[in-house]
Copies of this chain bind each other. A is one copy, B any other.
Amino acid sequence: MVTRLTRAERKGQTRSDLVAAARAVFLRRGFHEATLEDIAEEAGYTKGAVYSNFAGKDELFLAVLDAHFERRVEEWALDLALDDSATLEETYRAVARKMDEADRREPDWTPLMLEFWVHASRRDGLREQAAASRRRFLALMSSFVEEVARRHGVEFRLSALEVARGSGALARGLAMERLLDPEAAALAPFEEMHAAYMIGLTKPSAAGADSQETLR
């Protein structure tokens, strides 16, 4: 009844079990407080299994990070494809709502990621790996920003990369405030802030002048 797996398949299974367990435990306890013991146990293995699949705690976290970004990017791509906002401003607001929703669905993610960034920023090799992962994510988010601009026939005062970076930075900064005060920066104010930010960075496109919209 039990499917017979090859060694490689079995190992791949173990690896993804470990990543899934690591994700859960890291979210629950944070990067520093989570132990490899917890993670291995959650996955149904022993600590040695972790070392048979990853160089150590840091590399295990990088795997969690990559899996997370991949999932988030897919969500954004889907949302973008389904977006039918009448105006550009409404799209900007919808993006804010989506970011807010993601943060409230998984409030432990942002502090976890930042905890790791701070940790990684103090170790050269690790920082470079975290930065590479970040660059891949931002490149995709930038392409979404560009797609929105194209659809609405507008351009930005800054590169799509910087626009995307600032948009995420605002959301993340506010999520940090909520760590201390859960009431801080509720959805409505955040939506307003994000719209203000995006509208302020939008300028009419030189091309496509006929499809331009008036902003406020």
Taking Cβ atoms with an 8 Å cutoff, the residues of A that contact B are 30, 32-33, 111, 114-115, 117-118, 120-122, 127, 130-131, 134-135, 157-159, 162, 165-166, 168-174, 176-177, 179-181, 184-185, 189-190, 192-193, 195-201
Bound-state Cα–Cα, A68 to B28, Å = 31
Could you say which of B120, B177, B201 contacts A165, with CB atoms under 8 Å apart? B177
Q: Determine how many copies of this chain the complex contains.
A: 2
Q: Smallest CB-CB separation from A185: which chain B residue?
A: B165
Find out whether the CB atom of B121 lies under 8 angstroms from the CB atom of A111.
yes
A172: min CB distance to chain B, Å: 4
Find out whether the CB atom of A117 lies under 8 angstroms from the CB atom of B176.
yes
Q: Smallest CB-CB separation from A121: which chain B residue?
A: B179
Contacts of A111 in B (CB 8 A): 117-118, 121
Bound-state Cα–Cα, A114 to B190, Å = 20
Find out whether the CB atom of A181 lies under 8 angstroms from the CB atom of B30.
no
Q: A117-B180, A166-B170, A169-B173 are in contact. List 6 more A-B contacts (CB 8 A).
A: A117-B179, A166-B193, A168-B173, A169-B177, A170-B173, A196-B199
Task: List, sorted by A's number, 17 A–B pairs whose CB atoms are closer than 8 Å.
Answer: A111-B121, A114-B176, A117-B179, A127-B180, A131-B180, A134-B177, A134-B180, A135-B181, A158-B192, A166-B174, A169-B170, A170-B173, A171-B173, A193-B201, A196-B197, A196-B201, A200-B200
Find out whether the CB atom of A196 lies under 8 angstroms from the CB atom of B165.
no
Name the residue among A122, A168, A198 with the largest chain B CB count within 10 angstroms: A122
Q: Smallest CB-CB separation from A188: which chain B residue?
A: B158
A167: min CB distance to chain B, Å: 9
